[in-house]
Structure 1
Amino acid sequence: MIDIADPRAVPRSRSTTGALASLSLAMLLSSLSTSVANVALPTLSTAFAASFPAVQWVVLAYLLAVTALIVSVGRLGDLVGRRLLLISGLGLFSAASLAAALAPTLPLLIAARAVQGLGAAVMMALTIAFVGETVPKERTGSAMGLLGTMSAIGTALGPSLGGVLIASVGWRAIFLVSAALGVAAMLAAQRFLPMGGVTEDRGARGEGARFDTVGTILLALTLAAYALAMTTGRGHFGGLNVALLAAAVLGAGLFLYAEGKVASPLVKLALFRDPVLAPSLAMNVLVSTVMMATLVVGPFFLSRGLGLSEALTGAVLSIGPVVSALCGVVAGRVVDRLGASAMVVAGLALMAAGCVALAVLPGLFGVAGYAAAIVVLTPGYQLFQAANNTAVMADVDGNERGVVSGMLSLSRNLGLVTGTAAMGALFAFAVGTRDMAVAAPEAVAGGMRVTFTVAAGLVVVAVVIAVAGARNLPPRGGDGRQARGGRLT
């Protein structure tokens, strides 16, 4: 765990170890709640006598709430205080989890999951933002790596924990466990997180700072429309998807117009000209799109292309999350030692090699080739995430940590939902059919090659953005800090 020699490095923190533990538990909970509900969908369909598309809203409501509100809650944390909002978000998450466990009908369960998603949005946005207030700057990478590890553990633990709980106790137990862990995280945050800091003392709660309600509504509707456009239709992009995508484009235009007119915007448009933040957001979208391809394409290739049983397919798919959990902290320490900018490029280079390996090795060596490629790709992703988050958050203005952290998390979520639709559609096109049950193993293998060849190209684009962004950075100031966004931070 990360230690601090100088207690003055972290203002008013009673225990850095305790603070990191509470942040890690919050991050684990938000990712666990994303994956744990998926395994319950067949059981919920039977329990409520509902169709599978109907019970899918148990997952979709959570994801929509997180995606639509994560930037807004980050900004709200900058205004009212991140500690207060994070504790409130954990309390809301816990209460919504309990409501989900007790829900007598499917609509009430879906509503509870949406509220749970709001609490998770607070947790995702503010855990990263709090790193700057809990660890010294030179250990930021290690903290980011730790949070990445906890996210990977939550994602990997969800299906197995959910399966055990459903089989032994019932589906309500998965939400009761979330409620209990949420209460534990809330108590730990209240005990260990810093009492004050930039925001609470003198930050964005200045006389002219107000919460941008119009911008919040426009951004939430825009992001919800985009997420729905990418996730409805179950792989078929029809008229409804086109209408939702058009609404998202219109909403984005209205949002940008509104942000340019208000005195205290939700997102300062100047942030998009920041030489570190803008490239980082673009790379995050591309990388998350690529990583989603492994979750979308991998199961079909292993089961249909290689003929593995369900049990073996699940075992092979678990390699990625396990490797991710093991290398997250190591990746963070490497970032601290060698520097964030260089490790962004190194992580992307590993990812590109992993994508090429996924396009080539499984066809030559079967399961062994697939596993070897994942072992290359996953550490590259963890290294990129730790370095990218560190590069963005290390020097960000204290009054903007929440909103910038929210934008980082949003870019990742947008990449995931885009990858679900775009990479899934590309795979189906390359295979030649949407019905994988009738696809020939050779066609599925061909789809795998095409998909990850394109994925490698997307990562190369991210490398170009990283290199160009590094060249465009302004010179460092006399105190060694980077001049960013027209100000010295």
Structure 2
Amino acid sequence: MLAESRRLSTLLGLLFGLAGMGSSSAAIALPLMGADFGISVGTAIWTISLYTLMLAVTTAVYGRVSDLVGVRIPLMVGIGLMTGGALVAAFAPTYSVLLVARLLQGAGAAAVPTLGVAVLSARYAGPVRGLALGRLAATAAAVSCMGPLVGGIVEHAFGWRAVMALPILGALVLPLIWRALTGEGTGASLDVLGAVLVAATAAGLVLLVQSPSTGLVVALVGVFLMVFGAPAVAWRMRRRPHGFLPVSVVRNPAVVRSAIAASAIPASWFALLIGVPAVLVAEGWEPWQVGLLLVPSAAVALFVPRFAGPLIDRIGPAAAIAAATVGASVALLLASLGAQLVSAPLLGFVVAVVTVIFGIGQPALSAAVGDAVHEDVRGVALGVATLFFLVGGSVGSAVVGGLGEVVGLPLSLAALAVVPLLGLFVLAPQLRTTRVPG
């Protein structure tokens, strides 16, 4: 079983990483893409923002669908949309077509993080599950770290359109994991109205978070969706407590506290993936050189599962999340110093540290949520947790991209260091009530 879990978690982590590479490698292509379509780089950033939006919004949808029909069909649909969207993006004749393609790509990529974790959580238990979840997170982090380097090399050799096509590689992984995917669920019907309301409210939250770097109109749309969407979701939950968003998940303190606290981890991760290249490119570095700086982080990520799983089993998921949030805060302060000094070695070291933190925090969140809910709602619970996780990433990119333009990257990174400590405060009641295993 250990060998099987190693293979399956590595393949699912590769898929997860390819989904993340949809942002990290595509960012390298923005200048040439903008030049081809006659638009500014600021406008071209919408190809990243819309991808991230759909990635976050549809995670809970995939999670709930997997509860009802099993993992096989929604994962197949997700990978199909991800690869199809990448193919359309690569051949998009206009910028409008490219934006639609990126929406489809993001909607498909959202299936991977939620359903990958759901597969491992349902298939394994105990230390084997901890190792598998750790390996998934580590492989995903390693592939994402390689995004700027791979994107830079591919763009240099074949142009920006080839970079957009990279997620097509996900289709090659699906046949290798097909037999491990279950097609069994509860058989209940999907609460379509509930799904639409949750997706709209989640879209409002993500747009509001991204508004510092995308403008007032986006902020107003986000506020509108949240003001009308949140009460509508609450109404729907009262009408159908076992519908799309089960009351048992929303009222589960372990799920809510763990998800909110852990969202600080991708905030630091995405902040550095955007901030570090910005600092070094401004100093004259080429994108591929920045990618080389991140290669050691990818190598470090591959060793994280050796201790992440046993650590989570020994101290418990809640304590592991707490440790990761403290580490994220310290890392952001070090990154602020590195950006101020323009120290490439220090920035490279901090990215490696945050890679380790990500490799601990993400599987700890999955373990905390998976242990806290019944298997009938595990998919949607993991989807909600992943939604918070991705919103955290949006916070990190928004603070660096928005606040960074006003006060500079060093101060914006220092300000972001407060977010993990807020997460630790939210998690504190969970730490007091959770008994450490062993």
Tell me which interval the TM-score lies in, with the shorter structure as reference length.
0.7 to 0.9
Distance verdict in 2 for CA 1:465–1:232, change over 3 Å: closer
Pick the aligned partner of 2:237 from 256, 259, 275: 259
Which structure dedicates a bigger proportion of its chain to helix?
Answer: 2
How big is the alpha-carbon RMSD for the aligned residues of Structure 1 and Structure 2?
Answer: 3.2
Structure label with greater radius of gyration = 1
Equivalent residue, structure 2, for 1:249: 227
Residue 471 (structure 1) aligned with residue 432 (structure 2): yes
Residue 95 (structure 1) aligned with residue 84 (structure 2): yes
Equivalent residue, structure 2, for 1:379: 356
Distance verdict in 2 for CA 1:129–1:246, change over 3 Å: same
Q: 1:409: Cα distance to partner?
A: 1.5
Residue 408 (structure 1) aligned with residue 385 (structure 2): yes
Q: 1:377: Cα distance to partner?
A: 4.3
Q: What letter corresponds to residue 326 of structure 2 in structure 1?
A: A
Moved more, 278-287 or 257-266: 257-266
Q: What letter corresponds to residue 79 of structure 1 in structure 2?
A: L
For residues 3-402 of structure 1, what are the structure 2 equivalents within 5 Å? 3=2, 15-179=4-168, 181-190=169-178, 192-195=179-182, 200=184, 203-205=185-187, 209-232=188-211, 234=213, 237-238=215-216, 240-262=218-240, 264-301=242-279, 309-310=285-286, 315-316=292-293, 320=297, 322-359=299-336, 366-402=343-379
TM-score w.r.t. the length of structure 2 is: 0.86
The number of residue pairs the alignment matches comes to 437
Q: Deviations over 1:117-176 (max 9, x none)?
A: 221111222001111233233222211111111221232222222222222223333344
Identical pairs, percent = 25
Distance in structure 1 (CA, Å) of the matches to 2:189 and 2:154? 44
Structure 1 residue runs of 5 or longer lacking an equivalent are 5-14, 432-446, 481-489
* SS in structure 2 of the partner of residue 249 of structure 1: helix
Structure 2 residue runs of 5 or longer lacking an equivalent are none
Moved more, 403-412 or 181-190: 181-190
Equivalent residue, structure 2, for 1:420: 397
CA contact (8 A) 1:40 1:166 kept: yes
Q: Deviations over 1:53-105 (max 9, x none)?
A: 44333323322221221111210111111122212322332233333333333
Distance verdict in 2 for CA 1:333–1:228, change over 3 Å: same
Distance in structure 2 (CA, Å) of the matches to 1:226 and 1:385? 21
Distance in structure 2 (CA, Å) of the matches to 1:378 and 1:356? 16
Distance in structure 2 (CA, Å) of the matches to 1:462 and 1:222? 22
Distance verdict in 2 for CA 1:467–1:32, change over 3 Å: same
Q: 1:279: Cα distance to partner?
A: 0.8
* SS in structure 1 of the partner of residue 107 of structure 2: helix
CA contact (8 A) 1:137 1:394 kept: no
Q: 1:48: Cα distance to partner?
A: 3.0
